[in-house]
Amino acid sequence: MSAQLALPEWVRGRGLAIYVTVMFGALTVGSAVWGEIAQASSLPLAHYLAAGGALLSIPLTLRYKLQTGAKLDLTPSMHWPAPVLAGDLRSRAGPVLVTVEYRIATKDRDAFLSALEAVAAERRRDGAYAWGVYEDATEPGRLVETFLDESWLDHMRHHERVTKADTVIYRSSQNDCKTCSMKDRCCPNTPTRKVARSIYETSRDVARSIATTPQYAQSRRDRKKVEMLFAHLKRIRT
């Protein structure tokens, strides 16, 4: 029950599968170990040792409580707006082109592009590919980020897998927004701007730093030798 309540819906099946695998694996290994002890000594001694170990584990594990997740809001945050479709789409339809438009001050262009590189690594880690950013030559300060998702199902998973417990919402000051010259382009329909940030962003920064190491580059090259074969096989089947 604890394992079910502490996991969001989209990963609950996988979590329970790992839980059951560990439990039955421990039973299998424990049965073999206690069988060897009983064979080397005697069955009553093995029973006494097992009982003593169970009693000893009570005070040792008392500080480790099962987490029920009762205080966690694991519902999807849905901070991305739902896409507006002209018709129904098959879940495997794809690839899906995603575009994100940014309006920035021209003096902040270089700093913004540097920050966007970190976003690019996050997009690719979540399954996106063919990432790029383009600048409007006729309108300075208008940048468009583009990337591809493998299918419509993969794209929607990006919307649904972020829970409210995983997200911190930052809201700008209404007084600052009133006097901002970019208010009409930044948030024309709302009084303030709202930005969602994952609570795991610090861990993602660590992952991004690892991605700059030579060892990571070598692992990427090794993965392509195998993953590309499966990619071609998948294309042939579709």
Within 10 A of 181 (CB to CB), how many other CB atoms are there?
A: 8
The encoded tokens of residue 34 equal: 């206690």
Distance, in Å, from the CA atom of 58 to the CA atom of 55, rounded to the nearest integer, reads: 6
CA 111 to CA 34: how far, in whole Å? 62
- The answer to whether residues 128 and 147 touch, using CB atoms and an 8 Å cutoff, is yes
- What kind and span of H or E run contains 93? none
Contact status, residue 102 vs residue 112, Cβ threshold 8 Å: yes
pTM here? 0.42
pLDDT (0 to 100) of residue 236: 46
Which residue has 């507006």 as its token pair? 84
Query: Which pLDDT tens digit goes with each residue over 149-186?
Result: 888 888 877 766 666 666 666 677 778 787 887 777 77
Say whether domain 75-165 belongs to CATH 3.40.30: no
Sequence-distant (≥ 6) Cβ neighbours of residue 93 within 8 angstroms: 151, 152
- Dump pLDDT digits (tens) for 92-143: 887 888 888 888 888 888 888 888 887 787 677 667 888 888 988 888 888 8
